[in-house]
Amino acid sequence: MARKVYELIAPCHFGLEAVLKREITDLGYEIAAVEDGRVTFYGDAEAICQANIFLRTTERILLKVGEFTATTFEELFQGTKALPWEEFIPLTGKFWVKKANSIRSKLFSPSDIQSVMKKAMVDRMKQAYHTETIPETGVSYPVRVSLYRDRVTVALDTTGESLHKRGYRKLVSRAPIEETLAAALIMLTPWNRDRILVDPFCGSGTFCIEAAMMAAQIAPGMKRTFLSQSWENLIPGSLWEDAFEEAREKVDDGVTVDIQGYDIDADVIRSARANAEAAGVGRLIHFQQRPVSELSHPKKYGFLITNPPYGERLEDKKNLPALYGQLGERFRLLDSWSAYIITSYEKVESDMGRKADRNRKIYNGMMKTYYYQFLGPKPPKRKVDDGTAR
């Protein structure tokens, strides 16, 4: 019997849609649409398992129930009621509109949108199941809705807790970067596991840990659970078991890498080490208490990938010119290296004394940041035993 194919929506950070699109394509799924902050693709129940476990750069996987236009609450009610909720939610299922957001639409009150849609869903379920009461005593089916220019997109959240919560980051430093964003920023570079990676402001260790997980082919969702694991009416448990087993089989326990994380704070370094151990990559990363003024490495053609202080607090801002100046000085000594820096601080280039080769605007939550890319030379091709270049 042919499996039912759904439209699945994968939200991501604004500016990183192309990275997520490539990830989904590499998993083998067909892209339906790429829009600001999200990629939609086609997939069956197995795809829901695969996407949740293997995708590194999305926040969650949404199962699209339907789409319609609404400019009044009556239209919202009727549009919601017309959707085939009984195909997704069993009679005992617990359902509610967990989140509603509205951009450039006539309906903009999240609480009113949530309330109207809940009533419409209850009406539909009563009719579909020929009952006067909906018990809602069973498994949870949270709904997320987005309104954009009066177009309403309705979806079930298959993930639960956001996918950036890999399960390894028990201890965090101030202003940590999300795991999904860190993974996407690494993927925007030519770094691979044969190249050196150093984060001189490693904080919780996120860049280093995400890179090490990529190197060891550890799936980001391998050590956590997902809300839709309990949706036995839609996703057989065997599909989850198979996907987790596939993730375990792909892990490369024998990989060796040169990944290093530095921070001036000894407590932060201890936290980063604990996080790396929890992620299963402790042996792959060398963490060390070291100020940026002592940044150095004997090898060539490495990568700096880092999230330096932004100066969120006023008293910290005055220290930024000196900090980025030191980073620029040390980077100049790493003359064949490349540097990738995400920050909201706007004087990076002048303080570092070098214009970025590329600059990309990326939203870190609601904060506008820039991803400065200082590109070094490519390493010479290595010769292998048969005399050919690689």
Distance CA 323, CA 8 (A): 43
263: β partners = 289
Distance CA 174, CA 31 (A): 37
Pairing status of strand 303-306 against strand 197-199: parallel
DSSP, collapsed to helix, strand or coil, labels residue 175 as coil
DSSP secondary structure of 191-260: --TTS-EEETT-TTTHHHHHHHHHHTT--TTTTS--GGGG-TTTS-HHHHHHHHHHHHHH--TT----EE
Supply the pLDDT for residue 1. 54
Supply the pLDDT for residue 310. 80
Number of Cβ within a 10 Å radius of residue 100: 23
Q: CB–CB of 224/248 below 8 Å?
A: no
Supply the pLDDT for residue 364. 81
Q: Nearest-CA neighbor of 58 among 81, 75, 41?
A: 41
Q: CB–CB of 158/61 below 8 Å?
A: yes
Give φ, ψ of 343 to 5 degrees. -165, 155
Supply the pLDDT for residue 175. 62
What is the arrangement of strands in the sheet containing 338-343, beginning at the earlier edge strand?
A: 285-289, 259-263, 197-199, 303-306, 338-343, 367-374, 358-364
Supply the pLDDT for residue 287. 98
The dihedral formed by the CA atoms of 58, 64, 69 and 75, expressed in degrees to the nearest 10: -120
Supply the pLDDT for residue 386. 54
Give φ, ψ of 255 to 5 degrees. -65, 145
Supply the pLDDT for residue 381. 82
Exposed, middle or buried: residue 133 (CB in 10 Å: 0-12, 13-18, 19+)? exposed
Q: What is the pLDDT along the chain (390 residues), one digit of tens a residue?
A: 568 999 999 999 999 999 999 999 999 999 999 999 999 999 999 999 999 999 999 999 999 999 999 999 999 999 999 999 999 999 999 999 999 999 999 999 999 999 999 999 999 999 999 999 999 999 999 999 999 999 999 999 999 999 999 989 876 666 678 999 999 999 999 999 999 999 999 999 999 999 999 999 999 999 999 999 999 999 999 999 999 999 999 999 999 999 999 999 999 999 999 999 999 999 999 999 999 999 999 999 999 999 998 866 555 788 899 999 999 999 999 999 999 999 999 999 999 999 999 999 998 877 889 999 999 999 988 765 555 555
Supply the pLDDT for residue 385. 57
Exposed, middle or buried: residue 116 (CB in 10 Å: 0-12, 13-18, 19+)? buried
Distance CA 201, CA 310 (A): 12
Supply the pLDDT for residue 176. 77
Where helices occur in 283-339 by DSSP H, the ranges are 314-317, 320-333
Supply the pLDDT for residue 315. 55
Supply the pLDDT for residue 140. 98
Element (H, E) at 271: helix 266-279
